[in-house]
Structures are given as structure tokens and as C-alpha cells.
Amino acid sequence: MQFLYPTSRQFPFDETCEKIVRELEKRNWQVPGIEVEFQKYGSGAQKLCAVWLIKSNDFKLRFGRVQRTMPGGRWNDTAAVTGIVIPKKELHVYEEESGPTFYFYVGNDYDRDREKFISASRVNSRLNHEPRIYLEYTGRANQEGTHSYSRSRSPYLVHTNDLGRQYDPKGDEPKFFSTYEVMAEFSHYLENTVLAMILSEPIPTERIDTFAEPESIPFPESVGSLFCFGEWREAERIKQGKKDSEKLDPIDRYGLSGGGYRLMPLDGHGDGTVPEIAYDGFLWCGVGEVTESTEIDSLDVPGHYRWSDRERYVIRVKPDRANDIYIADHAAYEKRRKELADSIKGRDQFTDAEVAGFQRARARTIMPINEYQGGYEQPVVLIRRELSFDEVEVVSGPFKDHFDL
């Protein structure tokens, strides 16, 4: 895995952000009062990792700005800082120089509003009748806000109410700020407060590998054989990878990848009873043995709709470990659906909220596959990680001669 640092020098505080990351790394990412979160992405032999969030009670740094395109062209280096919150102020910057977007606290009790100001989103506060605790400003070419630049940094940050969806200034509250002065203030705070706080902590003598691979968990044989459906490009990649993976681009040196359909969609219908893992994306697999003669139309992955025009290959899945593999019972979905169908009269379709109820019932059954003791009526195996070429095998599909199955 390649760790990415904030190497961009686009904005005045970029260099300090790199120092912050590197000094945290020297301290095993453990400094009292500071939380650090990471983002891991990439594929095949191009696995990438970067800091995603650095946060304390007084400040927050959000990373994710694009610095470059990685070799192969599929993944970007997104390790540069994109959002910074300091006491009573927040700034967002973008690689194409749009914005910047600036938020200025105008409430009357920052101690009370601190956590909300640091963590809450900044969307349509007036429209949503939220408390008036901030004003929004955006980059403009003049103090009146009548002109803006394209792909060039604006000298002013001018108040915007975003078509009436944000609050307007009152009395002597600022109508605009100097972009240069705002960025200088953020740079000063990061250098003299955040970085200084980190540097005050001693560097430990023992280095901890934060990104070490977890211990391998044996895959339970009692689950049985697994299969999934694949597209032509996946079958082609698996065929070549098994023959000679070096002929594939580094980003394509993997069998199959998790991260597909979610067990529980991110649509606001969660009720606090669904495990967080259910909101991730998975490779959905059915349980059962498959052979070259198994008719694809006879196979079913519970809860997964097969796109018959694309998913035309049957792929045997043979996990070499249980890490990041889960199992759920689609029967919970069908049971709740039938109960509601039997109880409603006068309509022939379910509401979105009702469907979400079916999804929640199923999502509550998810568990790590190594903890599964059996008993699910319609088990669906959900894989969140990448599978190696040794863990997959194309069993059947069209163009058999082409794939030499």
C-alpha cells in the first residue's frame, strides 16, 4: 500500500498541512486530543492510503483535494487538504480554484455551538429553519460580488445567501473578506496552534505499523461453495490474471472487488437499528456449487437482481480467508414484505418508506461470516474486500472458446 502525503503547494497552508501529517505519523498518529481517520482506495497492485480527517475539539482538517492522477489513470491522489475549520471560521478550497467557500460564525455562544459549527454541514440553513449561527461567503472578483473568475483565485470572499437559502448579514456583520487575509489567518492557526500542539508531544521510540494487514481469519467450510455473476470485462481480467498477471496494468491485478451494491442504501431511511457495516458496498454471492453445465438462469443470489444483458458469466468464489466477508438473510426482507402485502388493501405498490422497512429487516441480520452458526433461510454472502485471482474462477458464460473455459 502506498501512503500519500499532502504534497500540493497550491494554497498558503498546504506546506503546513504536510508537516502536520508527517509529524503525526512520527507519533504513530496518536496525539492527545487529536483524532485521525484515513481513507483507503485503489485496486490491484495500486493500493493507496491517505489521511482523511484530523480533528480536535477546536479544529478540523478534511482532506480529499486532487493533487495528481496516479499512473494508470483510474485513481487520483487526493491527499491534499480541502476543508479547514478553526474557531469561528471554516474554509473550503478546490483544485480547480473554484470558490473558495468561507463560513463565518455569527452566533452568540460559541462554546455552546462549537461542536455543531465544527461538525455540521453548511447546507440551506435558512431554508431549513436552522439556527442562525453562520454566514456563507464565496470567491468573487470584486467586493460587490458581481463578477467571478474562472480557474483563477478570487481576491474577495463575498457574502452569498445562495438564492435565499442562507442567512444574510445584519448590522455591521461583514459583507466581504479579503481572500489573502483569510488564508493567511488559517495558515497562522495551523502553524502556531495545530502543528505546535503536535510538536509538543514527544516522538515515541517504538514505531507502530498502523496499516499492517489484520491477522487472517479462517473461512468456515460449513458455509459451502459460493458463486456470483460477472461481466465480460471481469471474466477477461480473471482469465488473463490467472495466465500472467504481469501483462495486466497494476490497477487490474485482482480477481473481483467488493464495494458494489449496499445492503442498506444511504437514503435517510435508517432508524439507528441497522449495523453501520450494512451501509457499505459489497460483492453479493449466492451459496451453492456451480459447474460448467449449471444453467445461469437457474441460479439466484438472494436479494440481487442480475442484469442479464451484462452479468452473463458464472464465477466460482473460493475465499482464502474470512476477513471482510459477511452474511445476511434475505428471508427477513421477504417475510416483512409478505406481512405488509397481506395487510394492505386498495393499492398495488409499496411506498419508499415501506421498502426501506424490508431493507432494514434484512440488514439487521448481517454478521461476520466466521460468526455464522447456520440457520438462515436465504443466505447471501457479502464480500467487502478484493479477491485475488486464486480466490475466483470463471465457470461458465458466453464465448466459451474465446475464454477456453
Q: What is the pLDDT of residues 180-204, one digit of tens each?
A: 999 999 999 999 999 999 999 999 9
Range of the structural domain that residue 340 is part of: 221-403
pLDDT at 400 over 80: no
Instruction: Please tell me whether residues 180 and 228 are part of one structural domain.
Output: no
Q: Is residue 42 part of a domain?
A: yes
191, three cell numbers? 502553524
Instruction: Please tell me whether residues 142 and 232 are part of one structural domain.
Output: no
Instruction: Please tell me whether residues 71 and 190 are part of one structural domain.
Output: yes
pLDDT at 403 over 60: no
What is the number of structural domains in the chain? 2
- Percent of the chain with pLDDT strictly greater than 70: 98
Q: Is residue 355 part of a domain?
A: yes
Of the pLDDT bands very low, low, confident and very high (cuts 50, 70, 90), residue 130 is very high
Q: What is the pLDDT of residue 133?
A: 95
- Using CA atoms of 353, 359, 363, 365 in order, give the dihedral in degrees to the nearest 10: 120
pLDDT at 120 over 60: yes
Instruction: Please tell me whether residues 129 and 238 are part of one structural domain.
Output: no
Instruction: Please tell me whether residues 172 and 252 are part of one structural domain.
Output: no
296, three cell numbers? 445461469
Instruction: Please tell me whether residues 32 and 149 are part of one structural domain.
Output: yes
Q: Look up residue 229 and give its amino acid.
A: F
Pairing of strands 60-65, 46-55: antiparallel
Average pLDDT over residues 51-63: 97
Instruction: Please tell me whether residues 97 and 228 are part of one structural domain.
Output: no
Q: What is the pLDDT of residue 399?
A: 62
Q: Is residue 368 part of a domain?
A: yes
Q: Is residue 208 part of a domain?
A: no
Q: Is residue 211 part of a domain?
A: no
Instruction: Please tell me whether residues 150 and 41 are part of one structural domain.
Output: yes
Q: Is residue 124 part of a domain?
A: yes
Say which residues have a Cβ less than 8 Å from residue 70's Cβ, sequence separation at least 6. Answer: 42, 46, 48, 76, 77
| Structure confidence by residue, pLDDT tens digits, 306-351 | 999 999 999 999 999 999 999 999 999 999 999 999 898 778 889 9
Per-residue exposure over 251-262, b if at least 16 CB sit within 10 Å of its own CB, e if not: bbbbbbbbebeb
Instruction: Please tell me whether residues 319 and 362 are part of one structural domain.
Output: yes
Pairing of strands 226-230, 313-317: antiparallel
Instruction: Please tell me whether residues 193 and 226 are part of one structural domain.
Output: no
Q: What is the mean pLDDT of the chain?
A: 94
Instruction: Please tell me whether residues 165 and 301 are part of one structural domain.
Output: no
Question: For 84-93, 166-175, 206-215, which range has the lowest pLDDT when averaged over its residues?
Answer: 206-215
What phi and psi, each to the nearest 5 degrees, are found at residue 215?
-60, 140
Q: Is residue 212 part of a domain?
A: no
Instruction: Please tell me whether residues 85 and 170 are part of one structural domain.
Output: yes
Q: What is the pLDDT of residue 405?
A: 45
| Structure confidence by residue, pLDDT tens digits, 84-105 | 999 999 999 999 999 999 999 9
Q: How many contiguous H segments (helices) and E segments (strands) does the chain have?
A: 8, 20
